Structure 1
Amino acid sequence: MESRPELEHRGGFDELVGKRGFVDIENSLEVHNLDSPGAREAERKYIWKLDLIILPTISALYFFEYIDRGNIANAKLYGLDNGHDTVKQGVGPGKNSLTSPQWQLSIMIFYIGLILFQVPGCIGYRVFPPSKWIAFGVCMWCVASSLQDVAFSQSGLLACRFFIGTFEGLFGTGIVYYLSLWYHRYELGLRVFWFLGPTAVAGAFGGLIAYGVGHIKTSTPNWKWLFLVEAVPGFVVGLFCLYWLPDRPTKNSRFKGAQQEIAVARYYRESFDKDGPIQWKHIRMTITDWRLYMQAAIYLTTAACLASISGFLPTIVQDLGYKSATSANLMTVPPYAVAFVLMFMISYSSDRCRDRGLHITGLMIVAAIAYVLLATLPQSQLHGKYACVVRQPLLLIIQLNTTSSNTPQCIAVACVYATYPPTHAWAANNLGNGTKRAIGLGMYTAIGNCGSVAGTYFYPSTEAPQFRKGHYLCFAMSLSTAVMAFTNHVLLGRINRARDERYGKGREGESVDVSEMADESLGFRFIT
């Protein structure tokens, strides 16, 4: 095998794989040339098979992760915070009802564990076989979630929430890195949607599941059933990953023959990145990269809004006039349903248009307007005609009906959630090689989730029923996200144009060598 030529660009992909020896060209059925008609059809079938293997599995896992993350908000409505004074319904987390600060701490502590273990979680995907790393993280967070049933004090509840965050950090942070091993940069946005889209579905189904669990009539309190019902299926799917998920394109047993050759060829087509050990110079490049911190700041402000939604939406809806716990949980479904549809539309569009920044900017401007409406609508409209919104869901997208206070709530939730996939895809797209993606995505999510910690304090119960403080804070976060996303879009575009003018534009099918210089390689172009 030849040593690596000291060139930034490869002169066409078939030359690259021939020199590197990754594909046996004589017996490869022409898959080394992915631009030929036969190879394109073979590649299309391979991608379809890859989608069927990976996407439903990680969607299911993140669905259960997000349910376990947010079910504490639904459990609160069934008496989790009521303490020992509800002895007929079981033992709560203390002798007395939790105060608002104690409840906020119970939600916030999850994010402390999540933040602390996100960088190690990403590194784990690079060091260990991803299928085993995923299974470990998933099974352990499900165990921690089910242990909330035996939390006899607030300390016990806090410990469970911390370890749920810890193991979710080991799993969830590196999934975008894992997807980047298998998919090209302009394929990643839609695939990240299928990973993150279940956050909206989980919000909707979490409310439906909680509604159903609320009708269980046993001596065991409903909130205990809720934790068990939502943890056990995730544990089973986690074990399934050991067999089902492929590890890396260059080392996997899920594809054979020509499809394995296509997997390797695609891996080296966009950027030439060796599977070598982590290098200290790449770590230094990562922690000194201003672009990483800009991406993290965009995620931080978005995460603050996301955390406030997942932690407090049932309570906010209850204060809109749906006083029973079952009704409040049920009425959280429409905002999440609309969010799921909008997430898909934006993810597809951002891939097709090859743009991330402008999509995020537009969404967060609309979200900011919706939050202003939520904060300024008079008290008389806080108990608006929610039934109209449920019977005519299209109005949530095409019309801002201010006679219903929950319509701007739906719009705010949908727009904030829809920024999630393009924001994560944007970060992964612009971290040039494997080490920078592994370290950088861990730092990006750790910094970003500091916003999640802040978001858990946006909606104290003392602000009910208007919650003006929380809505104004979310307005500020949304507007900040829009400004930073647009600024990043402009700055990255300038860098690309400067490289084009100095070094020339790359040709279709060329593979950029990022193994040494990562995204500082002369042929690398950022996605804006």
Structure 2
Amino acid sequence: MVDTEKATAGDMAMQLEKLGPKEKADAIAANFVRPTPEEERKVIRKLDRRLLPLVFILYSLAVLDRSNLGNARLAGLEDDIDLKGTKYQWLGTIFYISYILFQWVQMGWKQFPAHIWCAAVVMVWGFIATIQAATTNWAGLMTCRFFLAIAEAAFGPGVPLYLSYFYPRESVGFRHGVFISGAAAANAYGGLLAYGITQIRGSIAPWQILFIIEGLPTCVFSIFAFYLLPDGITTAKFLNEREKEVALHFVARNQRLDVGKQQGLRFKEVFEGIRDPKSWIPGLCYFGCNVSYASLPLFVPTIISEMGTWNKAASNGLSAPPYLLCFFYIITVCWLSDHFKMRGPFCALSATIGGVGFIILATATTTAVRYFAIFMAVQIFASVALLLSWTANIHATESKRAGGYVVLATVGQCGPLLGTNIFPPTEKPYFRKGMAISAAFCLLVAVLSGVLSCWLIYENKKMAREGVPEVEEFEDTSIAREEGVHVRHRYIW
């Protein structure tokens, strides 16, 4: 029997590994004192203070370094580097080709210590984003975009998996919302920052200054990631031993936890996640979101400038307010999703709002109406945040979630291959074809969200008839693996 009164959470994990499956479960059940709801909330707040600001800032920098190409275009990039014809569209396309091909590297968050993995990939993409300023031709810029995508694929898609190690599954939606809202924040302050930078006159072009000023902070924040990110609950130095035990307890509710095996993938479970049909509907939804949304940061400044009312510099600045609203909307809708323990209805609502916005952009000609419609169209991005938490909720084990996220990201990131090519210059000034395609995919996301919700409701009712409990307590992944038992759990729909 393990003496957990004297052992630390880390010691407890190592001692548990020496026991057989049944002895392990008995030791945990006999010695653990269940936390109160207030005790759980206190630990979650402590996790929030350490994790959320850092992942929010890092993701906002990732999106900024990815999407500032649209601002650089209006800052003279198109004139200094020959981007005639479809060359500009190819800069967006090559990024997403690379991003798709290397989605599998996101599993590095599970395979390696998180603080080392994160710091390394952040430093690499910050360096590449900065040296874009030194490019002198289209081929050089294409090369930078290709390798920038590899580094970003190793970071952003894996963060939702990483966050799922620390939070109860019914609370992870809000945390994913905070993380993903970093993209909206980046597009908001990125437009304002680009407006200010384009006013600078120096020995190098404004677009080069833009890449340098927006790329170097990423390199600096990689150092913060190395020293501040914990690898897992049992190694989190900012938690005391009781807080670690409480965190392990609430993370394990209705999902299984790798105790004593924070790093290392269970490849059988990874492939279970990939084969699960319920992994593929969120992937198709993510595809639809990305067709509609991924092209917007690259083209919103151009869309606004083509309204004919504002010059290019003002268009950069006016691209910020829609994303500012999107930031607050994402936070709100993800909090509501956690509160009501629902994902599908809120995902469908956000997609419908985005679809209506694109329909207005496809049909209206008045500047004020079209600008207002952009505020609606960008809300499709909230569906992305909800899909991230939904995927985590569907899969019980850490490695199976890794497989589910690979499907989500690989299928979903094919969307920008279409999305970045539906606003050709020949469609100016209204880009009606691109707006209509985006609207159709938004509405497809709404329909698929409803289908998946109905499927999960049906599965929950079936499990209720079979006696599967609504709440399942601690279930160590290693116990389930050694006993050959696949424990079923109710779904959040």
Query: Normalization by structure 2: what TM-score?
Result: 0.91
Which residue of the partner structure matches residue 184 of structure 2?
200
The answer (yes or no) to whether the contact 2:127–2:215 under 8 Å persists in 1 is yes
Q: Deviations over 1:330-368 (max 9, x none)?
A: 110111111111111110110001101011112212222
Deviation at 1:514, TM superposition (A): 5.3
User: Are 2:209 and 1:225 aligned?
Assistant: yes
Q: What one-letter code is carried by the residue in structure 2 that aligns with 1:213?
A: I
Which residue of the partner structure matches residue 510 of structure 1?
473
Q: What one-letter code is carried by the residue in structure 2 that aligns with 1:112?
A: I
Which residue of the partner structure matches residue 3 of structure 1?
20
Q: Deviations over 1:187-210 (max 9, x none)?
A: 111101111111111111000000
Deviation at 1:446, TM superposition (A): 1.5
Which residue of the partner structure matches residue 144 of structure 1?
128
User: Are 2:378 and 1:408 aligned?
Assistant: no
Which residue of the partner structure matches residue 28 of structure 2?
17
User: Are 2:452 and 1:483 aligned?
Assistant: no
Rounded to whole Å, the distance in 1 between the matches of 2:266 and 2:353 is 43
The answer (yes or no) to whether the contact 2:187–2:297 under 8 Å persists in 1 is yes
Which residue of the partner structure matches residue 61 of structure 2?
64
The answer (yes or no) to whether the contact 1:115–1:445 under 8 Å persists in 2 is yes
Deviation at 1:497, TM superposition (A): 0.8
Which residue of the partner structure matches residue 48 of structure 2?
51
Deviation at 1:437, TM superposition (A): 1.3
Which residue of the partner structure matches residue 78 of structure 2?
81
Aligned length in residues? 470
Deviation at 1:219, TM superposition (A): 2.5
Q: Deviations over 1:101-138 (max 9, x none)?
A: 110001111112222222122x2111111011111111
Match of 1:255 among 215, 234, 239: 239
Which residue of the partner structure matches residue 9 of structure 2?
none
Q: Deviations over 1:456-514 (max 9, x none)?
A: 0111111010100010000111111111110000011111111111124334x633565
Match of 1:331 among 310, 313, 318: 318
1:323-472 paired onto structure 2 within 5 Å: 323-378=310-365, 381=366, 383-384=367-368, 404-413=369-378, 415-472=379-436
Rounded to whole Å, the distance in 1 between the matches of 2:69 and 2:109 is 29
Percent identical pairs in the alignment equals 30
Which residue of the partner structure matches residue 12 of structure 2?
none
Q: What one-letter code is carried by the residue in structure 1 that aligns with 2:331?
A: F
Rounded to whole Å, the distance in 2 between the matches of 1:265 and 1:128 is 23
Which residue of the partner structure matches residue 244 of structure 1?
228
Secondary structure of the structure 2 residue equivalent to 1:174:
helix
Match of 1:157 among 138, 141, 149: 141
Rounded to whole Å, the distance in 1 between the matches of 2:394 and 2:476 is 14
User: Are 2:69 and 1:105 aligned?
Assistant: no
Distance change (3 Å), C-alpha of 1:422 and 1:342:
same
Q: What one-letter code is carried by the residue in structure 1 that aligns with 2:288?
A: T
Rounded to whole Å, the distance in 2 between the matches of 1:294 and 1:269 is 25
Rounded to whole Å, the distance in 1 between the matches of 2:228 and 2:420 is 36
Q: What is the alpha-carbon root mean square deviation over aligned residues?
A: 2.1
The answer (yes or no) to whether the contact 1:125–1:178 under 8 Å persists in 2 is yes
Deviation at 1:67, TM superposition (A): 0.5
Rounded to whole Å, the distance in 2 between the matches of 1:513 and 1:525 is 17
The answer (yes or no) to whether the contact 2:111–2:265 under 8 Å persists in 1 is no
Deviation at 1:294, TM superposition (A): 0.9
Match of 1:115 among 86, 89, 100: 100
Secondary structure of the structure 2 residue equivalent to 1:278:
coil
Deviation at 1:329, TM superposition (A): 0.3
Rounded to whole Å, the distance in 2 between the matches of 1:437 and 1:165 is 22
Which residue of the partner structure matches residue 295 of structure 1?
282
1:167-186 paired onto structure 2 within 5 Å: 167-186=151-170
Q: What one-letter code is carried by the residue in structure 2 that aligns with 1:109?
A: I
Secondary structure of the structure 2 residue equivalent to 1:184:
coil
Q: What one-letter code is carried by the residue in structure 2 that aligns with 1:306?
A: Y
Which residue of the partner structure matches residue 33 of structure 2?
32
Deviation at 1:16, TM superposition (A): 6.7
Deviation at 1:324, TM superposition (A): 2.0
* Between 72-81 and 315-324, the greater mean CA deviation after superposition: 315-324
The answer (yes or no) to whether the contact 1:514–1:521 under 8 Å persists in 2 is no
Rounded to whole Å, the distance in 1 between the matches of 2:322 and 2:470 is 43
* Between 257-266 and 54-63, the greater mean CA deviation after superposition: 257-266
For structure 2, the residue ranges without an aligned partner over 5 or more in a row are 1-15
The answer (yes or no) to whether the contact 2:168–2:252 under 8 Å persists in 1 is no
Distance change (3 Å), C-alpha of 1:149 and 1:285:
same
